[in-house]
């Protein structure tokens, strides 16, 4: 009889965390496991057996409770009770958690139930929400309160935004329930995040670093038509990609960079919303969010350089995708980004140093991108191929089940 794994995430086979969960499932299916995915918001077709946790109206109620009262993760009670019934029916050998924030699950109810189970629970942290009283990231505001106890939050406008400061109570509630498990193993997607966890109330649990993986058969150097498509054949193309652009992701820094560019240099930003698209200067081409992987590959491969202006990254998936497509990168020396860039694949500069950014761009422009294509793509394939990275989960699962 095959083993069964249930993964829980805000989305299924969509976005970075959804694709990671799907990649893990593909590896486990190849090993004969039966894979289930419980998700809260939306999904794409999946090789797993899908279960939608929450109804749209419940998500809206949860969102408003979070926004108005600061109660993120504390609504969706009935939906979570239904999920628990699903878990009982599936009777999995192992549960893999991903992002449980996102207005779709009640974590006290879920963790109260998980504490009664005698199976391994693995929780991959893709951000810092699990050990803070409010936010998913705190580097931009230089906050260290999460190490002891959150209170008087200065980051309430950050996701999940709130009008009321409930950070102290949320911190205490998370600490109570998240430390109640006897069978929890934490996975972090970077060494930087591992270090943060070891300074948090989750430090008592075993922590394993498994970096994210990408499909290097898809993300690879190709003959891109992106410049001809946008009629910028004779321009040096600077690319930025994000799921959602804001100050934390460095949108303002791209605006500052645009002021320095010459007539033969241009920026393309992917992932902008309608309002942002209307506010762009003439030398920035804006593209809305896309999940068309082939379109992204053409963008990455067609760019001369990829710039990641984010100051808060727990890994930096778009940076790896760009390198896999043969394009050198520029990242800030902040959080996890420096871990994944070498001297042969790009540049690490101080945060918000637009002058250093422009100098790196000019360096690539002088010597040509071609010198970077093989080093970048080879490095990504060797270190971040999804089959190898997600197989590390399979090794971890086998170890935990043999111990159990």
Compute CA 52 distance to the chain's CA centroid, rounded to the nearest angstrom: 21
Spatial contact of 159 and 136, defined as CB atoms under 8 Å apart: yes
At 20-35, the pLDDT tens digits run 999 999 999 999 999 9
Burial of 370-399, coded b for 16+ CB within 10 Å and e otherwise, reads: eebbebbbbbbbebbbbeebbbbbbebbee
Alpha-helical (H) ranges within 310-369 are: 317-324, 354-367
What is the per-residue pLDDT for 75? 94
pLDDT in tens, 48-64: 999 999 888 889 899 99
The helix/strand/coil state of 125 is strand
Q: Which of 162, 174, 98, 161 is nearest to 133 (CA)?
A: 174
Cα separation, 317 vs 327, in Å, equals 14
Give all strands of the β-sheet with 284-288 in edge-to-edge order.
284-288, 265-272, 236-241, 305-308, 329-332, 346-349
pLDDT for res 308: 98
pLDDT at 404: 60
Within 198-310, residue ranges assigned H as helices are 226-229, 251-260, 274-277, 293-302
pLDDT at 243: 86
The predicted structure's pLDDT at residue 123: 98
> Which among 337, 294, 330, 291 is positioned nearest to 312, based on CA atoms?
337
Residue-wise pLDDT for 303-316, tens only, equals 999 999 999 999 99
Q: pTM for this one? A: 0.93
* Distance from C-alpha of 139 to C-alpha of 314, rounded to nearest angstrom: 11
Evaluate whether 238 touches 307 at the Cβ level (below 8 Å). yes
- CA contacts within 13 A on the Cβ side of 127: 17
- Structure confidence at residue 56 (pLDDT): 84
Under-70 pLDDT residues of the chain: 404
CA-closest candidate to residue 125, choices 185, 70, 83? 185
Q: What is the per-residue pLDDT for 403?
A: 74
SS3 130: helix
pLDDT (0 to 100) of residue 230 = 96
Convert the pLDDT of each residue in 357-393 to its tens digit.
999 999 999 999 999 999 999 999 999 999 999 999 9
Question: What is the per-residue pLDDT for 205?
Answer: 98
- Residue ranges and CATH numbers for the domains of the chain are 4-213+386-403 (3.40.50.2000), 226-383 (3.40.50.2000)
């Amino acid at each position: 009889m095959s083993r069964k794994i249930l993964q829980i995430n805000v989305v299924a086979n969509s976005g970075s965390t959804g694709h990671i969960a799907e990649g893990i499932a593909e590896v486990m299916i190849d090993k004969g496991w039966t894979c289930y995915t419980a998700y809260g918001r939306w999904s794409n077709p999946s090789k797993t057996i899908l279960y939608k946790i929450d109804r749209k109206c419940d998500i809206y109620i949860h969102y408003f409770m979070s926004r108005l009262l600061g109660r993120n993760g504390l609504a969706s009670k009935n939906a979570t009770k239904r999920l628990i019934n699903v878990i009982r029916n599936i009777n999995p050998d192992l549960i893999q958690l991903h992002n449980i924030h996102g207005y779709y699950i009640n974590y006290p109810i879920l963790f109260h139930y998980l504490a009664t189970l005698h199976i391994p629970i693995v929780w991959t942290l893709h951000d810092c929400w699990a050990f803070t009283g409010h936010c998913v990231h705190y580097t931009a505001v230089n906050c260290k309160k999460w190490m002891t106890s959150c209170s008087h939050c200065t980051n309430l406008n950050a996701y999940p935004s709130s009008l009321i400061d409930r950070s102290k109570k949320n911190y205490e509630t998370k600490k109570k329930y998240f430390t109640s498990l006897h069978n929890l193993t934490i996975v972090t997607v970077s060494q930087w995040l591992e270090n943060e966890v070891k300074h948090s109330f989750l430090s008592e649990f075993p922590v394993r670093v498994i970096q994210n993986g990408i499909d290097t058969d898809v993300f690879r150097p190709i003959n891109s038509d992106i410049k001809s498509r946008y009629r910028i054949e004779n321009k040096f193309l600077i690319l930025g990609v994000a799921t959602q652009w804001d100050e934390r992701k460095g949108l303002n820094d791209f605006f500052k960079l645009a002021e320095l560019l010459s007539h033969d240099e241009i920026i393309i930003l992917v992932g902008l919303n309608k309002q942002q698209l209307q506010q762009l200067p003439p030398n920035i081409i804006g593209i809305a969010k896309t999940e068309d992987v082939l379109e992204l590959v053409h963008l990455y491969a067609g760019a001369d350089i990829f710039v990641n202006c984010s100051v808060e990254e727990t890994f930096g998936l778009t940076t790896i995708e760009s390198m896999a497509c043969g394009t050198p990168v520029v990242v800030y020396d902040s959080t996890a980004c420096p871990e994944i860039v070498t001297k042969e694949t790009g540049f690490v500069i101080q945060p918000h140093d637009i002058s250093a950014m422009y100098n790196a761009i000019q360096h690539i422009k002088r010597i040509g991108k071609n010198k970077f294509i093989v080093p970048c793509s080879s490095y990504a394939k060797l270190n971040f191929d999804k089959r190898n990275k997600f197989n590390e989960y399979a090794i971890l699962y086998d170890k935990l089940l043999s111990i159990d």
